[in-house]
Amino acid sequence: MVRLSVNVNKVATLRNARGGEVPDLLAAVRTILGAGCRGITVHPRADQRHIRRVDTIAIAAELEPLRDSVEYNIEGDPRPDLIDLVCQLRPHQCTLVPVKPGEITSQAGWPADTSPHEIGAIVRRVQAQGVRVAMFVDPEDAPIRWAAALGADRIELYTEPFAVAFAAGQGAAAAARYGAAAELAHGLGLGINAGHDLDLDNLVLFRGLPHLDEVSIGHALISRALFVGLDTVVREYLDLLAAH
């Protein structure tokens, strides 16, 4: 079964909009786990506009007793303070994502012409702490081969283009493109994660991606939770993934 990792950034966004501690981020994590999910993702940005450093640490402490059964994924750009935090907390996975100044959310995967020297050293440093490293990439040959050459453990396929194509009635063609990317990555020894704009509609098609290990879903899941509740929507996603 494909693993679901719930990105809780949007819970922190809502909290930060008013200040204080409501909604309680750790209560959200407990609800997600209580619904049967076994993965939590955070993306602490440098401006701390949603997940903060203190949140990242608090969630790590909450999950530590469950380390054998619940995976913690910290994603973000490879800035020194975040890499230091990852090495301190030693989550199961670190997903390295390129960040463009001023972006609201991720806009693309790593370019294949990114110099491998500095980022390769970061990958090795994180792996030395026993942390799996995934590189956020587009479904194209060059960046997938670049990630493999870095020595990454997995890729995370950037799926907004798939979601856009699906909404336009072109999901099958997009799925074929992502399928080819997944086959290439698998052949190079990489595990395969995916995320960005996946939801209950397009995931019905995307869940069939060959060799898919994990999907990370935040915005769509938390948005639906406003109407049906967090426990219910997590169970909906888990049931959808289990039905494949």
Separation between Cα atoms, residue 10 and residue 218, nearest integer Å? 7
Separation between Cα atoms, residue 125 and residue 127, nearest integer Å? 6
- DSSP class of residue 202 equals T
Catalytic, 196? Answer yes
Q: Which one from 43, 50, 156, 214 is the annotated catalytic residue?
A: 43
- With b for 16 or more beta-carbon neighbours within 10 A and e for fewer, the 65-74 pattern comes to eeeeebbbbb
Catalytic, 140? Answer no
Beta strand spans in 8-129 (E): 39-42, 71-76, 93-96
Q: Which of 151, 80, 75, 155 is nearest to 110 (CA)?
A: 155
Residue position matching structure tokens 């110099």: 115
Angle of helix 9-18 relative to helix 25-34, nearest 10 degrees, comes to: 150
Q: Which one from 71, 75, 156, 214 is the annotated catalytic residue?
A: 75
**CB–CB of 175/162 below 8 Å?**
yes
Separation between Cα atoms, residue 145 and residue 188, nearest integer Å? 8
- DSSP class of residue 130 equals T
Separation between Cα atoms, residue 23 and residue 170, nearest integer Å? 38
Catalytic, 75? Answer yes
Q: Which one from 50, 71, 196, 214 is the annotated catalytic residue?
A: 196
The values of phi and psi at residue 237, to 5°, are: -65, -40
The catalytic residues are 43, 75, 196
